A and B are shown apart, each in its own frame.
Chain A
Amino acid sequence: MKHIKTINKADLKASAEKGGCGKCQASCQSACKTSCTVANQKCEREA
């Protein structure tokens, strides 16, 4: 495309179908303890 460069094709919808296993870290624990960001966390689902 000439005008739009798509950077990623991450599809959250596909992740919803297979997601929710709960193996990942609780987000607030990791480094902050006063503000919540979730999208910086790793998925820990075993393949």
Chain B
Amino acid sequence: MIHKFKLSGYNILLDVNSNGVHIIDDLTYDLLDYVEPPFEAECPAEIVDKLKDSYPEEDIRDVYSEIVELYNDKILFSEDDYEKFAETAIASPIKSMCLHVSHDCNLRCDYCFAATGDFGTGRKLMTFETGKKAIDFLLRESAGRKNLELDFFGGEPLMNFDVVKQIVEYAREEEKKVGKTIRFTITTNGMLLTEDKMDFINNEMSNVVLSIDGRKEVNDRMRKRVDGRGSYDRIIENFKKFVPMRGDKDYYVRGTYTKYNLDFSEDVIHLYEQGFEQISVEPVMAPPEMPYAITEEDLPKIFEEYERLSKRIREILDSGKFINFFHFMLDLEAGPCAIKRLKGCGCGNEYVAISPEGDIYPCHQFVGMEEYKMGNLDDGTFNKDMKKEFAGAHVYSKPECRKCWAKFFCSGGCNANNYIYCGDIHKSHKLSCEIQRKRLECAIMMQAVKLLDKAE
């Protein structure tokens, strides 16, 4: 399978199964409409006939030969032979956990998938006892895995920060006993960030995700305090103080764009201009009837906006400055192995979420859905059949993924979005896929141009 596209003046050709990327001229671009394996020794006359009014015949024959050469080198029209791996790597240990220490929040964001913090199940904080059980569960169920991850999530986790500290202290003792390392991360809206919390987080957490949507008016329209006032002024101040204190440690400022700010490249640039270099801004996921929801009619504007963003980011990088936009990160020369690329996020299989009550769910987005409760830490239940169901949700068991050129980049997309919007974890959420593919085209183009410049 191949995928070709035109972007920013470049013709890009991706060989899906080898991950080979090529920059091609217009003739090659057009000729690829007419060829596929098996190839002949010389360019067939009917193909020459189709193109000879636009291009010299000799060039058409040359391009055909180049395509055949790359095919023989197995970096064009290469075979997809990964399916056997999808079925063999089923039973993965759990290595990653989302710990919902607080189903309460001090903001009332309109688009919150957690129903403004409580996931529809009532405002509640996790106890230290439940947190301990979660750590024990993670250390036990991770079997031979040494590198584990735990994200403190909510609601707003800083509303239960004493318990966060106790859990970290407990985990640090327990991980040593079994020779493992837990990388802690925290996702916060920043309202309660004080210097002592910043110090603790900087000492203990390898990454922090700081929620802010961008420009003040954009942020405050959706991210409101309980009394309806905006949150921007407080959080921007806290984040500006916090990020430099992190030194070399990772962080992301992470925003959501909606129908109200389809010019979201302005928000990315706004965040950059506030001094942040690690930025993630993502489309809201919401039922189409919500006024802020992104719908299919918004796609042309969104596509344009990603192109605009890629241009602005290239300008920043070309000027010798640094910015990293999460969804344009791509390593075309290495990156994760093919096996990793078959299964996506690992939700319900390598990754679980724990509610304040100690209920186990496949991921944070499934929390509160009774039909997807996998078990409970208090009664020791854990539904291994459901784990298997998620382990089997890979690019070959999702019909739309099978035929999609982006499958080895996005790896099957978000199972939760599939379930919420299409009723089945195997049914791809079309809108997410369309946006994902556009982001990937931009990312591939940016990386290809970078590598081309390096080579020249």
Q: Is the CB of A37 within 8 A of B409?
A: yes
User: Chain B contact residues (Cβ within 8 angstroms of A): what range?
Assistant: 35 or more
In the complex, which range does the number of interface residues on chain A fall in? 35 or more
Contacting residue for B19 out of A12, A20, A45, CB 8 A: A12
Residues of B with C-beta under 8 A to A19:
85, 336-340
Selected from B63, B183, B280, B330, the residue in CB contact (under 8 A) with A3 is: B63
CB of B451 within 8 A of CB of A7, answer yes
B20 CB–A CB distance under 8 Å: yes
In the bound complex, do residue B334 and residue A12 qualify as a contact, i.e. CB atoms below 8 Å apart?
A: no
B229 CB–A CB distance under 8 Å: no
Write out the residue numbers on chain B whose beta carbons fall within 8 Å of the beta carbon of A33.
Answer: 153, 187, 209, 254, 364
The total of Cβ contacts below 8 Å across the A-B interface reads 223
Interface contact A35-B254, CB-CB below 8 Å: no
Tell me, yes or no, whether B303 is within 8 Å of chain A by CB.
Answer: no
Contact B331 A40 (CB under 8 A): yes
How far does the alpha carbon of A20 sit from the alpha carbon of B90 in the complex, in Å? 11
B332 near A7: Cβ-Cβ < 8 Å: yes
Stretch at the interface among B191-199, B262-270, B309-317, B411-419: B411-419
Q: Is B78 interfacial (CB-CB < 8 Å)?
A: yes
A32-B337 in contact (CB<8A):
no
Contact A18 B332 (CB under 8 A): no
Could you tell me if B339 and A24 are in contact, using CB atoms closer than 8 angstroms?
no
Closest Cβ–Cβ distance, residue B171 to chain A (whole Å): 16
How far does the Cβ of B348 sit from chain A's closest Cβ, in whole Å?
A: 11
Interface residues of B in 91-109 (CB under 8 A from A): 92-93, 95-96, 98
Please give, as numbers and ranges, the residues of chain B lying within 8 Å of A22 by CB-CB distance.
92-93, 95, 145, 350
Residue of A nearest to B146 (CB): A23
- The interface residues of chain B lying within 8 Å CB-to-CB of A12 are 17-19, 82, 337-338, 341, 408
In B279-330, which residues have CB < 8 Å from any A CB? 280, 282-283, 285, 326-327, 329-330
Which of A2, A6, A27, A37 meets B22, CB within 8 Å? A6
Residue-wise, chain A 1-35 has the 8 Å CB interface mask toward B (1 for contact) of 11111111111110110111111111111111111
| CA–CA, A3 and B432, complex, Å | 34
Q: Which residues of A contact B330 (CB under 8 A)?
A: 39-40
Residue of A nearest to B327 (CB): A37
Distance of A12 from chain B, by nearest CB (Å): 4
On chain B, the residues within 8 Å of A41 by CB distance are: 335-336, 340
- Bound together, the chains give a CA A4 to CA B89 distance in angstroms of 37
Does chain A have a CB within 8 A of B363? yes
Is A47 in contact with chain B by the CB < 8 A criterion? no
**CA of A30 to CA of B113, assembled, Å:** 18
Bound CA span A39–B409, Å: 5
Known: A4-B13, A8-B20, A38-B411. A26 touches B66 (CB 8 A): no
Q: What is the chain B residue whose CB lies nearest that of A11?
A: B18
Asked if B243 CB lies within 8 Å of chain A CBs, one says: no
CA distance A16 to B345 in the complex (A): 18
Judge whether A37 and B340 touch: CB under 8 Å.
no
A26 touches B187 (CB 8 A): no
Q: Report how far A45 CA is from B338 CA in the complex, Å.
A: 13
Residues of chain B lying within 8 A (CB to CB) of residue A4: 13, 22-25, 28, 63, 66-67, 70
Flag if A8 contacts B332 (CB, 8 Å).
yes
Closest residue on chain A to residue B13 by CB atoms: A4
CA distance A40 to B27 in the complex (A): 31
Q: Annotate B438-451 by CB proximity to A: 1 below 8 A, 0 otherwise.
A: 01100100011001
B62 within 8 A of A: yes
Cα distance, A43 to B333, chains bound together (Å): 12
Residues of A within 8 A of B326 (CB): 30-32, 37, 40
| Complex contact B338–A15 (CB within 8 A) | yes
- CB neighbours (8 Å) of B338 from chain A are 12-13, 15-16, 19
- Chain A residue numbers with a CB within 8 Å of B447 are 7
Q: Is B185's beta carbon under 8 Å from chain A? A: yes
Other-chain residue from A16, A36, A39 in contact with B85 (beta carbon distance below 8 A):
A16
B-chain residues with CB within 8 Å of residue A9 when the two chains form the complex: 20, 75
Query: Contact between B23 and A34 (Cβ–Cβ < 8 Å)?
Result: no
Q: Are A26 and B351 in contact, CB atoms less than 8 angstroms apart?
A: yes
A40 near B25 with CB under 8 A, answer no
Is B452 in the interface zone, CB < 8 Å from A? yes
On A, residues with C-beta under 8 Å from B are 1-13, 15-16, 18-45
Extra 10 A-B pairs, beta carbons < 8 Å, given A4-B28, A20-B340, A28-B363:
A4-B63, A5-B452, A7-B22, A7-B452, A11-B19, A22-B93, A26-B346, A29-B96, A38-B344, A43-B340
